[in-house]
Structures are given as C-alpha cells and as structure tokens.
Amino acid sequence: MRPHLLPDIHDWPVYILAKNRAEFVDKVIQDMEVQVERVGAGELDQMLSKTIFQERQRVKSNPWKADPPNESLFFKKLQREYNENKESHDSFQKNKQTASRLIHRYVEEISGSFNIPTFQFARKTLTWFFHFLYYPINFSTFSGIKKKIERLEKCMIINGQIEVVRQLFKDHTIILVPTHSSNLDSILVGYMVDTFGGLPAFSYGAGLNLFDSEFFAFFMNRLGAYRVDRRKKNQIYLHTLSTYSRLLAERGVNTIFFPGGTRSRSGEVEGKLKLGLLNSMVLAQRNLLQRRDPRKIIIVPVVIGYESVLEARSLILQHLKTTGQEKFITKERPSPISEYLHFIWGLLKKSSSVYLTFGTPLDVFGNIVDAHGNSLDHNGKPVHLGDYFKREGEFVHDAQRESIYTKELAEAIAREYKKNNFILPAHFVAFSAFKMYKEIHNQQDDINIVQSPEEEFSLPLADYKVYCKKLLAKMMVLQNQGKAYMSDRMLQDFDQVIEEGIRRVGVFHNRKVLMISNMEIITEDLIALYFYYNKLRNLEDDLKDIAEEEYQSLM
C-alpha cells in the first residue's frame, strides 16, 4: 500500500475547490457569458431556439428522477421569454440575458461538492462493499478495516506507470481517462487510487442517470462528482460542460472522466473516443501557457480489467440489438426469483479480481511525458508545448488546429488502451474459445453464432489446448513487441492458466461462461462468452500478422 502524497484531506485540490464552490460556479458562468458575447445575434437566436425546443422535447419524452425540479415550468417560461425577445427592439441583448439564465441553471446542475466526513464514511463503507464483492463470506468478513484493506490489495491491483503518475502529481494536473465497462467504474477507480495508489481524491464526471437513486446521489453529490447529462446535445449545455471541465483543470483539480462517453456495450476496449472533454484539456493547457503557469495537463490512460462484469449480459444484449437490428432476435425471458437468489449466493461465495493498468502519461498533444514532466516526441527528443499554440512567436487561438490536436490525443489514448489491455487467464480462455469456434464456423458472422443454441457449442479439450498454446505464443510475441501486456498469471503452468481462466471468467454470472464436461469445452451462456471474447478483440489484426517462425520457439 503506497503512502498518501497528501495525508491531510484539507490540502486536496478537490476539497479546496468545494470550499470555494460558489466562487468557482460564478467563474464558470462569467466565462460562459464571455463566450456568448462573442456569438453573433443570428447565431445566438438559433442556438436558443434549438436548445429550448430540444429541452422541452426531452422533458416531455424522457424525464428522469434526477432532473432538476420544475423543469417543464422552467422551459415553458424560457420559451415565452424567448418569444417576447423576438418582439423586442433589442432582441440580441434580451437573448443574452435569457442565455445567461439557462447557463446559471446548467452550471448549478453540473456542479458537485466534496464533504470530508462523507468521504471518510465512504472510505470505510466501500472497503466493506468491495471485500464483500471480491472475497467469499468467511471469518475474514468480520475482521477490522485494516485487515480488509490488506486482503483487498491482493485482488484490487494497480499496475503499470503508477509510480510515474505519483511523481508527476506533485507539480502537474493529472487527468485519468479510464476505459468504461461497468457502473462500478467511477467508485472503483476512485477507491483504488485513494486506498492503493496513495493519490488524493479526484473530481469525476458521473452520468446524471446514476443520481436517480437517492442513496447514490447523496454520496456522489458530496464526493467530488460533477453531473453529466448525455441526453442534452444542445450547444449551450455542451459548451457549459466543456468550460466547467476546462476550468477544473486550470485550477489544478485532478479529474477522472471516461472519454468513451458511456459504458462499452460490446465489451471491447474503446477505439473511438468522444472529443468534447478532451478538447477542453487542450484549451486549458493553452490558457496555462499564456499565463506562464508551468503546470502541465497530464493525461493518463487507464485500462480497467474485470474478470467478471456484473452487467455483462445486459450490455452485450444492448450491443447486439443495436448492431444486429432485425438479424438479432433475443431469446431472453424474465428471470425467475431463483436466478436472483442464485446470483446473490454467488456474490457471497465466490471471489474475483480487478486490475487498474496505468498507461504512459501523455501531454495534451499525445506526446509521452517522462517522470520529470518533460514532453518527448516519438524520437525521444524534448518538445516545448508553447510552440503548438504559437504563430510567428505569438499565442493564437486556432480552433481548427486545436481540433486536430484533440484527435491526435484521442488516437494516442486509444493506442495506450490497446497496449495496456492487461491480459488475464479469464480474458484469454474466453477469447480463445470463441475465436476457435468462429474459425470452425467461418461462414457465419458473429450475430448468427451468438444466436445458435448453447448445446451446439462444443470444443474438444485436447484440440482447444493445442489452439491455446499457439495463441499464447503469438501473444508473447506481441508482448515482446510492446503491443500487448500479459499478467504474470499467464506465465504459470499452462494447464493452470486454462483451469484458472475457466473457473474465473464471468464468475458472478448465474450461467457458466465456460466449463469442461466430458473432455469438451462448453458454455451455458454463449452471449456472455461473446462479451468476454470482445475484451481482447483489438489484438485480432496484430495476431494475424505474426509469421509462424516468430512464435514457434515460444510454444
């Protein structure tokens, strides 16, 4: 367990922000109002008109419990106000006032806080929760918090560039950008970086839908979360959210956000990322450089590796319905109460692990950042960030150029995801089993395969092991090339790798994802197997490119 960098919570940036919340909210509003001032009369009129229409439609067709009170009345009044503005001789000025009211509402909705007693209570509660989740119930369940943390450290593991990140934390602003596959991700990353990474709590963006639960809302409102409503696609809201994120970074508040935007429904590690909040980091870096502030915005890709994702089946069904459309006909039926009881029993009696793999720290242009905070190009030579924003020696705002920087940053993050997609035995056996079955049925696409009866899925154990040995040797080649990252558990006795993987993949599901029966590899849940296969799908092309002579010596 690493010592805390800032043992006193009062020194944490997220607490200092909360202490000055009102002043920060005013700063976001003022910044947004400056942006509105720069917009032409016609453009502002169009933005307001479209925003009010979209928001009234949203309130009517897709309301959430977590929505601010009196939304329908607010937007009804805003519509009336906008209509009156159009009749005014000074409609532009009136529209700016209307936009300001809307911005006030959005900023208050987005802004969170941080409460020390709540955080300390959450620390203890989450220790109990994760111990319950990752360890079977036994005598250790009733041990003290310290013993629980010691045990959790063995199954909630941080690896990768964590020590470099700790060193950079002292002088720079750290932005963690994890992969996203579960509703647990926010609290899990927050808990692990605090408890096992020794880093102060991060501010983080949480989907507004999570605030539907009063229980979770109580904690998230007091633990540094700011709300993100993905239903809102209008320009005013998106600019407000981006401005909030940018000003957090400029203030030195370390932040977690998921650049994939939402959970990966397919189970794949994200390859295409949302650019909005990443672009706000580019803008924040430009502003810091213009103010001659030496701090860098450091982007740290983080890959979350679960052996079992609680929502795996529901997520992959959503993915299949979206991608397969009329080709995918779900076989789902309502689950009997016995299945829920079986699931709870599984949580009580089974154990699992989760890994956070910290990738290479990057600057906002996708350059590698070393432990001393130096940005290095692909040849390892130092680069000066100010040069990216200057023209003829002067800082200039060039939206098109900065959008290109944002795309390059997103591509660099995606490469880090792929390279640091930590391979566990559970991932390996699911990937190899589905891949082998696909190759046997090479005339069928994935949609057809996952809809075939589970009884038809069968692989001779001896053939499967031969296939796995070949695949493992290829993955070792990729690791040697820096294109893959395998757990040490992949290097244990081969039969142990297969046994452990089959036992632990999707361990919390009611139906076994993989099992051995009569010397055959079979599944009770082909759709869930497909979800876990997708975890390593981003290696497919690289595996195809490996020549036989490259891996034969490793078999």
The least confident of 51-60, 132-141, 220-229 is 132-141
Residue 68 scores a pLDDT above 90: no
Q: What is the pLDDT of residue 336?
A: 56
Task: Give me the pLDDT at residue 140, please.
Answer: 63
Query: pLDDT, tens digit, for every residue of 352-382?
Result: 999 999 999 999 999 999 999 999 998 999 9
pLDDT recorded at residue 349: 65
- Indicate whether 443 pLDDT > 70: no
What is the pLDDT, as a whole number, of residue 333? 56
Sign, Cα dihedral of 535, 540, 546, 552: positive
List 223's β-bridge partners, or say none: 114
Element (DSSP H or E) covering residue 123 = helix 116-134
% residues pLDDT > 70 (the chain): 96
Nearest by Cα to 247 from 275, 281, 292: 281
Region 459-475 average pLDDT? 96
Share of the chain above pLDDT 90, in %: 79
Q: How confident is the model at residue 548 (pLDDT cuts 50, 70, 90)?
A: confident
Strands 354-358 and 390-391, bridge-based pairing:
unpaired
| pLDDT score of 307 | 95
Q: How many CB atoms lie under 10 A from the CB of residue 1?
A: 12
**Residue 339 pLDDT exceeds 70:** no
What is the average pLDDT value for the chain, to the nearest integer? 92
User: Looking only at Cα atoms, what is the longest distance across the chain?
Assistant: 84
pLDDT in tens, 391-426: 988 999 899 999 999 999 999 999 999 999 999 999
- Report residue 442 as tokens: 């090479």
Q: How far apart are CA 403 and CA 405, in angstroms?
A: 5
* Over residues 34-56, mean pLDDT: 95
Express each pLDDT in 236-275 by its tens digit.
Answer: 999 999 999 999 999 999 999 999 988 999 999 999 999 9
More confident residue, 391 or 339: 391
pTM of the model: 0.92
Residue 341 above 80 pLDDT?
no
Phi and psi at residue 5, to the nearest 5°: -65, -35
- What is d(CA 481, CA 537) in angstroms, rounded to the nearest whole number? 18
Give the closest residue to 376 by CA, choosing from 189, 135, 164: 164
Exposure string of 486-504, with b = 16+ CB inside 10 Å and e = fewer, is bbebbeeeeeebbebbbbb
pLDDT for the residue numbered 344: 59
> Average of pLDDT values for 134-143?
74
Average pLDDT over residues 289-293: 95
CA 518 to chain centre: 40
Q: Which residue has the higher pLDDT, 211 or 305?
A: 305
CA 169, CA 13: separation in Å to the nearest integer? Answer: 11
Read off the amino acid at residue 349.
K
pLDDT value of residue 392 = 85
Checking if the pLDDT of 475 tops 70, the result is yes
Task: Give residue-wise pLDDT tens across range 149-198.
Answer: 999 999 999 999 999 999 999 999 999 999 999 988 999 999 999 999 99
Q: Is the pLDDT score of 24 beyond 70?
A: yes
Q: pLDDT band for position 120 (50/70/90)? A: very high
The answer to whether 88 and 94 have CB atoms below 8 angstroms apart is: yes
Band (pLDDT 50/70/90 cuts) for residue 549 is confident
